[in-house]
Amino acid sequence: MGIITPALRRANTGNWHTAARWARMLAPRYRVRVLSQWRGEPLDLMIALHARRSAESIAAFAAAHPRRPLIVVLTGTDLYHDLKVDSEAQRSLELATSLVVLNELGADALPPRARGKATVILQSAPPLAPGRRAVRTFDVAVVGHLRDVKDPEAVMRAAALLPPDSRIRIRHAGGALEPALGKAARATERGHPRYRWLGEMPRAQARRLMRDSHILLHPSKLEGGAQVVIEAIQSGTPVIASDCDGNVGLLGRNYPGLFPIGNAEALAKLLRRAETDSGYYRRLQQLCRRLSAKFSPGREERSLRSLVHNSLQLTKRRAQK
């Protein structure tokens, strides 16, 4: 089988990490290839990440092998943007034999006729013991490339709104995929020393940053199911996040660490509350500990293997008719 991802290892993106992790989970039972594009390689099943960016491979495989399983994994940009406006993404939805959404609200964003194809697979991360957190500062980690969709400017604006006596130190890891946002990050550093842009870093180092912080802040405008939120929870670090569906679909509608998308004032208030209100901070910790079982590698692996097994069995039954 093949896993198609438009971004390979060097891109250090969520799509790549999902593809690599799923390949490892499936490898004990199946021969798995991770490809950026399908060029006719022999596959009995395709898993394609991203309905729009993998649309060419999806269409070619469906045309060549119309009776073979074609699983399309829907990213945040698929669900909350491309499916509304892009004909190739819409065509991928039609061609898929199964759809995967990565948060518990994901199917709600699909056209009603496609919801029956959808399976929720929550991503995972191995648990880590809590790190060594600073005492004199209250450290907030932001892990995500500087792109408009990740809304790094909300973080920068919030940093400017924190009062002078705050102990909050914001450390932002991620490459400047949009150069103007890199310039904005440098300007924020100069004007507000509590904010520091660390640039791109290896995944293991970014996870240590999350583990050693008091809070993981995830301000995205849209998400499919953010791996960094899951990694923080599995590291014992509570989360403050925007209320986009992808975050709500992981954390829950009533999670008290959500703020309105792009609202820097509300974000600054939540950060300040986490810093100064020990009862609120403990509540975030407790809720994230309860959520951690949902994001165990074993659960993700069982869900993925079940979908693949059932898809292959259905193909066999159809062939026997």
Averaged pLDDT score across all residues of the chain = 94
Give the tens place of pLDDT for each residue, 177-219: 999 999 999 999 999 999 999 999 998 999 999 999 999 999 9
All structural domains of the chain with their residue ranges: 2-123+296-320, 138-295
Rounded-to-integer distance, Cα 47 and Cα 73, Å? 7
What confidence score (pLDDT) does residue 316 get? 73
Q: What is the pLDDT of residues 246-282, one digit of tens each?
A: 999 999 999 999 999 999 999 999 999 999 999 999 9
pLDDT value of residue 320: 63
Ordered DSSP codes for 94-161: HH-SEEEESSTTGGGGS-GGGGGGEEE--------------SSSEEEEEES-S-GGG-HHHHHHHHHH
Question: Residue 9: is its pLDDT beyond 60?
Answer: no
Cross-strand bridge partners of residue 286 = none
- Measure the CA–CA gap between 292 and 285, rounded to whole angstroms: 11
φ, ψ (nearest 5 deg) of residue 77: -70, -30
Res 92 pLDDT > 90:
yes
* pLDDT for the residue numbered 130: 78
Q: By the 8 A CB rule, do 29 and 53 touch?
A: no
Pull the structure tokens for residue 310.
């059932």
In this predicted structure, the answer to whether residue 321 has a pLDDT above a threshold of 60 is no
- Phi and psi based region of residue 177 (left: phi greater than 0; alpha: psi -120 to 50; beta: remaining): alpha
Q: What is the structure's pLDDT at 199? A: 95
**Tell me: domain 138-295, CATH 3.40.50.720, correct?**
no
The answer regarding whether domain 2-123+296-320 maps to CATH 3.40.50.1010 reads no
Q: How far is CA 179 from CA 118, 183, 199, in A?
A: 37, 6, 12
CA 10 to chain centre: 18
User: How much is the pTM?
Assistant: 0.91
Predicted pLDDT of residue 132: 87
**Three-state secondary-structure class, residue 191:** helix
> Is the pLDDT reported for residue 317 higher than 90?
no
For the stretch 215-242, pLDDT in tens is 999 999 999 999 999 999 999 999 999 9
